Amino acid sequence: MKIVTCIAPVNIAVIKYWGKRDDELILPINDSISSTLDAKSGANMCAKTTIMASPNFKDNKLWLNGKEENFDAVRLQNCLKEIKKRINPIGNKEDIINWNIHICSENNFPTAAGLASSAAGYACLVFALAKLYNIEGDISGLARRGSGSACRSIYGGWVKWCKGESLDGSDSLAVQLAPTSHWPDMRIIILVVNESRKKHSSTNAMKTSMSTSTLLATRAETIVPARINNMEIAIKTKDFAKFAELTMRDSNQFHAICLDTYPPCFYLNEVSHSIIEFVHAYNDFKKSTQVAYTYDAGPNACLYTLENNVSELISIINEVFPTSASREEYIKGIRVKTTELSQV
């Protein structure tokens, strides 16, 4: 019997991935950039996955958040298939490759609520499998086969997923742009507006956007490439105002694409809209950009700000949103993660 347990944090995109050119290989239509949270031994938002391999297991099994799920799901099978291709028989003396496995994964934050559970979940799964079978080298391409955004959670700090050009996806990989230590006072505050599962999964909604939105191709081809360049410069030069404006504009444009999808996907609710207005009002009051919002495919807000704003911002948020948003504040140490995923 061999057991591995790993944790992997979520990543929050500042230039969004939305749209696939290849659904099977999970190849995106544009590059994207995100920061990965610090996993902090499970204190921050992360997935924790244990995999057991044993010659005595009669079959393969998967549990997600305590509930048994289908082991034959296509994405899990694709990850396993690709991982098995990378196994070096010399590194695995036992017959482990032929043993059945039991996978048990839990998220310590809402699943399928637009807080990147698929990113943490599949990054963790692939990282744990790579440990189990002693796989070496880049594993972001393997994580990508589980969920596109998962490839970015393989690395800490500021990460870019390069869409790649090849047909087989071999160059559609994540790379670290800068480690956490590059911008040590950066913080993320998560405002949980609604914990429920979203109505439209990211995968399905993205597919409908690809076939119906008349704006999506223009965004991917003519807007995102310049934004990626500008975002890389903003991160490199630690220009918060530039970083914040690009982040907010890209979140807004992504949600505009969701509205341009037919039938439309409404991910943001009234509280999400009030948080957007609040952030702009706060920045106006401060006469400079101090905070940025971004929303994935869900109503929950991710705020980027610098350490010196955090306590004041949290007190004002508590005043302005006394009951409407149930908040979870991940403040101290929610800087972006410094190193590769930790193994416990």
Q: Which residues bind Co ion (CB under 5 A)?
A: 118, 202
Separation CA 101–CA 289 (nearest Å):
50
Pattern of binders to ligand ADP over 320-339, x per CB under 6 A? --------------------
**Is there binding between residue 148 and ligand DP6 (CB under 6 A)?**
yes
**Is there binding between residue 149 and ligand DP6 (CB under 6 A)?**
yes
Q: Which residue is nearest to ligand ADP (CB)?
A: 121
Our CB check for ligand ADP shows the closer of 28 and 121 to be 121
Nearest one of 117, 121, 103 to 67, comparing CA atoms = 103
Nearest one of 303, 250, 45, 30 to 148, comparing CA atoms = 30
Question: Residue 160 in contact with residue 31, Cβ under 8 Å?
Answer: yes
Separation CA 329–CA 333 (nearest Å):
11
Interface region with ligand ADP, contact rule CB under 6 A, candidates 16-24, 116-124, 216-224, 281-289 = 116-124
Separation CA 256–CA 218 (nearest Å):
13
DSSP per-residue string spanning 46-77: EEEEEEEEETT-SS-EEEETTEEE-TT-HHHH
**Is there binding between residue 32 and ligand ADP (CB under 6 A)?**
no
Pattern of binders to ligand DP6 over 81-120, x per CB under 6 A? -------------------------------------x--
**Is there binding between residue 4 and ligand ADP (CB under 6 A)?**
no
Our CB check for ligand ADP shows the closer of 115 and 244 to be 115
Give the binding-site size for ligand ADP (rule: CB under 6 A): 22
**Is there binding between residue 198 and ligand DP6 (CB under 6 A)?**
no
Separation CA 82–CA 147 (nearest Å):
14
